[in-house]
């Protein structure tokens, strides 16, 4: 059984309008020559969603957000924002667009957001997020107030609510209107240009622009193009995916590093990516005093048997979907700084 290997593929700086598929292909060719590896069937090529969105010009502006807010809620309204992420990069620009359209805002801010950021001063950045949000609203001439519990704002009639959660938004994604209430989610904002996710997963690009999380359709088509090109050039049936944030929780800061709506907006070969690892928990067989041959025989039988019948030897292995495991691995390999490795090669994972 081959060991799993993962490495970042260095690429040139990627800008809007670049032929990203060609860049990925050429960068892998250079890396394979320099690092003496060759592509094989079932190798996995991951490309971070950020460069896909950038190359394809997936941007919106603060004014775009403001226009979408006006079309849903109307003019000169008081809007209640429920459970936003406490982030300068991820939410401040969205807030600016909302504040540009509303007369006043109430933000429901529990002590911690859903990924673990504190509602007050962040111990790592030193930024007091409430003061930061107040500054944004003041600059947009919008009144702002804060509460910790939704009960304090839903006692009134005719409320205008924007649910800002990242991952359970489908429970609120309507938008619907009942008894004068209007409720929608970040996935409903700017749907005309981002039908899958709205402004979920956006990142600050500059003072007035945000980079969108790329759509499923765009990512699926791009993955097929890259897969075809790599087949033509390297004669290997590789698996291609687009990955976003991984799913790990930082043990020091207590932050769950998952601020995108999903881990992978596009991929080929769903029969692999959507599966779960079929593994034997080795400690349960090694500690029984079995020989190497006996352990190998158990592994062989486990791989070929029905999973329901082999659950006893895999006891303790947390069931996870491969796409989430791979996204975490790739996100950690590529990083979010200046490594210049927005492409990640994983070998041996599905051998």
What CATH class has 5-56+214-277+320-347?
A: alpha beta
At 190, is the secondary structure helix, strand, or coil?
A: coil
pLDDT at 127: 92
Q: What per-residue confidence (pLDDT) applies to 312?
A: 47
- C-alpha 308/C-alpha 90 separation (Å) is 42
Please name which of 54, 140, 58 lies closest in space to residue 93, comparing C-alpha atoms: 140
The domains spanning 5-56+214-277+320-347 and 59-211 adopt the same CATH topology: no
Pairing of strands 5-9, 343-347: antiparallel
- Per-residue pLDDT, 331: 94
- Cα(257)–Cα(331) distance, integer angstroms: 10
In order of 88, 202, 227, 287, the CA distances from 260 in angstroms are 15, 8, 24, 40
Q: Is 251 exposed, middle or buried (0-12, 13-18, 19+ CB in 10 A)?
A: exposed
Contacts of residue 110, Cβ cutoff 8 Å, sequence gap at least 6: 83, 119, 148, 149
Residue 249: strand, helix, or coil: strand
Beta-bridge partners for 256: 249
CA dist 34 and 222 (Å) reads 26
**Angle of CA points 208, 103, 173, to nearest 5°:** 75
Rounded to two decimals, what is the model's pTM?
Answer: 0.89
pLDDT for res 311:
46
**Extents of the domains making up the chain:** 5-56+214-277+320-347, 59-211
Q: Which architecture characterizes domain 59-211 according to CATH?
A: 3-Layer(aba) Sandwich (3.40)
pLDDT of residue 309: 46
> How confident is the chain (351 residues) per 10-residue block, as mean pLDDT?
86 96 97 91 97 97 98 94 92 97 95 90 89 97 92 75 88 54 90 95 93 97 98 97 88 83 96 86 75 83 61 56 94 83 95 82
Query: Cβ distance 56 to 83 under 8 Å?
Result: no
């Amino acid at each position: 059984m081959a060991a799993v290997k993962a490495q970042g593929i260095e690429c040139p700086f990627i800008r809007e309008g670049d032929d990203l598929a060609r860049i990925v292909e050429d960068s892998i060719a250079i890396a394979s020559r320099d690092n003496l590896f060759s592509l094989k069937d079932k190798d996995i090529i991951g490309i971070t969603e950020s460069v896909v969105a950038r190359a394809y010009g997936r941007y919106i502006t603060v004014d775009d957000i403001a226009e979408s807010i006006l079309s849903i809620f109307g003019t000169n309204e008081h809007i209640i924002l429920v459970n936003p992420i406490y982030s300068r990069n991820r939410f401040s620009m969205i807030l600016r667009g909302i504040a540009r359209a509303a007369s006043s805002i109430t933000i429901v801010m529990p002590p911690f957001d859903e990924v673990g950021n504190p509602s007050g001063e962040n111990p790592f950045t030193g930024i007091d997020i409430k003061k930061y949000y107040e500054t944004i609203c003041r600059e947009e001439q919008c009144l702002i107030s804060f509460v910790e519990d939704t009960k304090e704002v839903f006692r009134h009639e005719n409320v205008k609510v924007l649910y800002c959660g990242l991952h359970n938004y489908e429970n609120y994604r309507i938008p619907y209107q009942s008894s004068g209430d209007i409720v929608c989610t970040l996935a409903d904002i700017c749907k005309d240009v981002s039908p899958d996710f709205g402004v979920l997963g956006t990142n600050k690009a500059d003072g007035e622009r945000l980079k969108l999380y790329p759509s499923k359709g765009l990512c699926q088509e791009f993955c097929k193009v890259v897969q075809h090109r790599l087949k033509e050039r390297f004669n290997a049936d590789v698996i291609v995916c687009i990955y976003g944030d991984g799913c790990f929780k930082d043990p020091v800061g207590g932050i769950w590093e998952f601020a995108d709506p999903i881990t992978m907006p596009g991929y080929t070969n769903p029969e692999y990516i959507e599966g779960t690892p079929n593994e034997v928990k080795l400690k349960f067989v090694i500690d029984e005093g079995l020989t190497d041959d006996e352990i190998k025989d158990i592994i062989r039988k486990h791989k070929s048997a029905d999973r329901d019948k082999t659950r006893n030897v895999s006891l303790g292995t947390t069931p996870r979907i491969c796409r989430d495991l791979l996204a975490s691995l790739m996100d950690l390999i590529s990083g979010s700084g200046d490594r210049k490795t927005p492409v990640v090669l994983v070998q041996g994972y599905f051998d």
